[in-house]
Amino acid sequence: MANLDDLYREIILDHYRTPRNRGELPTPPATRVEGFNPLCGDEITLYLELADGRLADIKMTGRGCSISQASASLMGAAVKGKALAEVRAALERFRQLMTVTETRLDEGGEPETPDVRSLGELAALAGVVKFPVRIKCAMLAWTTLAQGLDEAPAD
Amino acid sequence: MTSYSPSRVRADVPQFHREVHGRPLTYLDSASSTLPPRAVIEAMDRYYERHHANVHRGVYLTAEEATADYEGARAAVARFINAPGGAEEVVFTKNTTESFNLLARSWGASRLKPGDVVVVTEMEHHANVVPWFQLRESHGIEVRFVPVGDDYRLDLSHADQLLDGAKLLSVTGMSNVLGTRNDLAALARLAHAHGALLAVDGAQSVAHGSSDVARDGIDFLAFSGHKMLGPTGIGVLWARHSLLEAMPPFLGGGGMIADVRTDGFTPAHGVARFEAGTPPIAEAVGLHAAIRYLEGLGPDAVEAHERELTRDALERLERTFAGRVRVIGPRDVADRGGVLSLDVDGVHPHDVAQVLDQHGVCVRPGHHCAKPLMHRFGLAATARASFGPYSLARDTDALLEGLGHALDLFA
Ligand SMILES: Cc1ncc(COP(=O)(O)O)c(C=O)c1O
């Protein structure tokens, strides 16, 4: 049975109350990209500065629920300064973490607990998958990041 | 006098016999979808176990039974809303949304010319906004909005200008966000005085009080089975006979034709023209059972009960949280239904709803498919609690307890 503590881990509440990498970056050189969760009105704006094949800097503004905001803050901390290939790999790992496996028809069986060792602090969000409606909240920053990486001019 | 007892209704609803997170179910999301009583579920089971066959096709016994069940449901709907022309005015659809799409694509697309005006309001559900915008794109009509005042009620002070040249006024009977009930008889008079027809979104109003299209003088009514104790997958568009008669079909296929040749087709007469393909038969049976059940309770008694729950909840929210929980909707319960849209200080509606879930309390976070209204009040979302015929004061107890927890956790 999914428990509230699985969702609102202390790290998540901390990142929600004290979000990291808040603010804006001048565009250009940074790329600005917006994401919306039409279901609940969460919104996020990312500023991505790419240099020498790295995500040299990332800043963000936005508003939304604790999961969307904490996920954005954790994401920023995880990807800032990383090589773009690593950023994309982190994106893919996170996407897998947020994937609901097929459930049984009778009682909605619980999905398996994924291997989260490679995820560091992001593992705190692993519990979200037990609350499938909230997956979109957790994914918002990440899908916005993916869009931004696609849109950013190659340097 | 009926012998309506909310706790007896609760006992009739199987889902109340389960627990969530080890607690009794506190279901406060009836504005989204109501929980069906056993009578509805059993009627559908019985239909599938004994009578199922396609309708209007076979001549064997069960096909006749299924057809009688389906058409019987149509007659029940006509009686329930007091349709002056009877069952021949009742079109079955999938839900309110499809009803509005049918209205826009059939009546609208055939009757409206570029520059014609359709007036909706700022408190409409997207179901009564987007189809008109689509018609604006395809047919060049104009869509105008009646504003909502700071008192959360329609501001009709400029109605004469807004309705000037209008062909249709399309309004909700009751807001699914604010709880505001609109005076349909007065709106019908207003629309007619300007030469416009009145369409009503009855998704909320039909389920929580009596509806009488003849008394109110309205021209179109749309509603959903699943918001009035019935099943999902069935809705209604009622239209005055003279209007329906002139409406062309919307979806084409089997069941809606009188004849098809290699060079074209002739649509069927009557409501069959709008029901292409095999219709939701079991769902019509379920809707029929829901109507019987609601009539047994007495729509006026249900409305009075929900009004009293709302008055009590408004008062206790104010007393318990003193401004930290704001209700987006009218204070005065006189023309108001049991919908409480909550703005909780410093806690996002999604988080409010998630904490409430742990208390077994079901509320709906989000924009409730009413974004123009959300923009009007500068909100991205609210957490909405709403009552049904089975709601009790102890549901409000659980709501208050959960809200206290949410404030402790996040604020
Ligand atoms: C006022 C109103 N109109 C329309 C709808 C749409 O109903 P459905 O989803 O059944 O089409 C709803 C339901 O959310 C509603 O509350």
Question: Tell me, what CATH number does A41's domain have?
Answer: 3.90.1010.10
- Find chain A residues with C-beta within 8 A of B354's C-beta: 4, 7-8, 131, 134
DSSP string for residues in B27-93:
E-BTTT-PPPPHHHHHHHHHIIIII---SSS--SHHHHHHHHHHHHHHHHHHHHTT-TTGGGGEEEE
- Residue B170: what pLDDT? 98
Nearest chain B Cα distance for residue A13, angstroms:
8
Interface probe, candidates A36, A65, A71, A107, chain B, greatest B C-beta count within 10 A: A65
pLDDT higher than 60, residue A63 = yes
| B172 C-beta closer than 6 A to ligand 1 | yes
pLDDT in tens, B115-134: 999 999 999 999 999 999 99
Contact criterion met (CB below 8 Å) for B132 and B143: yes
Nearest Cα neighbor of B128 from B202, B33, B205 is B202
Six-digit token string for B303:
């409305």
Contact criterion met (CB below 8 Å) for B235 and B223: yes
Ligand 1 center from residue B127 Cα (angstroms): 7
Name the one residue in this structure whose structure tokens are 């994914």: A139
Nearest Cα neighbor of B148 from B357, B365, B379 is B379
- Domains annotated for chain B, with CATH where assigned, are 6-30+298-410 (3.90.1150.10), 41-296 (3.40.640.10)
> Out of B30-39, B85-94, B374-383, which region has the weakest mean confidence (pLDDT)?
B374-383
pLDDT higher than 90, residue B201 = yes
Pick the residue whose CA is nearest to atom 7 on ligand 1. Answer: B96
| B170 C-beta closer than 6 A to ligand 1 | no
| B171 C-beta closer than 6 A to ligand 1 | no
Q: Which domain holds residue A138?
A: 2-151
B349 touches chain A (CB under 8 A): yes
Query: What's the rounded Cα separation, in Å, for the pair B18 and A120?
Result: 38
pLDDT higher than 80, residue B42 = yes
- Residue A126: what pLDDT? 85
Is B261 buried (19+), middle (13-18) or exposed (0-12) by CB count in 10 A? Answer: exposed
End-to-end CA distance of chain A: 48
| B125 C-beta closer than 6 A to ligand 1 | yes
pLDDT higher than 60, residue B1 = no
DSSP string for residues in B241-301:
HHHHHTPPPSS-STTSEEEEETTEEEEPSGGGGG--SS--HHHHHHHHHHHHHHHHH-HHH
B21 contacts A1? CB cut-off 8 A: yes
pLDDT higher than 80, residue A110 = no
Closest approach atom of ligand 1 to CA B369? 14
Name the one residue in this structure whose structure tokens are 């006189």: B334
Concerning whether B369 is annotated as a catalytic residue, the answer is yes
SS3 A83: strand
Confidence of residue A37 (pLDDT cuts 50, 70, 90): confident
ipTM of predicted complex: 0.78
Closest approach atom of ligand 1 to CA B172? 1
- Residue A134: what pLDDT? 86
Name the one residue in this structure whose structure tokens are 């490679």: A118
* Residue type (1 letter), B349: P
Note the pTM of the prediction, 2 decimals. 0.90
- Residue A98: what pLDDT? 86
Q: How many domains does chain A have?
A: 1
Pick the residue whose CA is nearest to atom 12 on ligand 1. Answer: B203
- Residue A129: what pLDDT? 82
Overall average pLDDT of the A129-144 stretch: 89
pLDDT in tens, B257-314: 888 999 999 999 889 999 999 999 999 999 999 999 999 999 999 999 999 999 999 9
Which B positions 368-397 lie with beta carbon below 8 A of chain A? 374, 379-381
DSSP 8-class letter at A123? G
Overall average pLDDT of the B61-88 stretch: 95
Handedness of CA B233, B239, B245, B250 (dihedral sign): negative
Query: What's the rounded Cα separation, in Å, for the pair B327 and B341?
Result: 6
Query: What's the rounded Cα separation, in Å, for the pair B327 and B38?
Result: 33
Contacts of A23 (CB under 8 A, 6+ apart): A47, A59, A60, A61
Confidence of residue A106 (pLDDT cuts 50, 70, 90): low
| B95 C-beta closer than 6 A to ligand 1 | yes
B212 touches chain A (CB under 8 A): no
Query: What's the rounded Cα separation, in Å, for the pair B192 and B184?
Result: 12
Query: What's the rounded Cα separation, in Å, for the pair B117 and B139?
Result: 11
Mean pLDDT of chain B: 96
Dihedral of CA atoms B73, B79, B81, B83 in degrees, nearest 10, equals: 110
| B203 C-beta closer than 6 A to ligand 1 | yes
Contact criterion met (CB below 8 Å) for B127 and B100: yes
Is B160 buried (19+), middle (13-18) or exposed (0-12) by CB count in 10 A? Answer: exposed
A39 contacts B380? CB cut-off 8 A: no
Question: Catalytic pick from B103, B369, B381, B399?
Answer: B369
- Residue A112: what pLDDT? 54
B350 contacts A4? CB cut-off 8 A: no
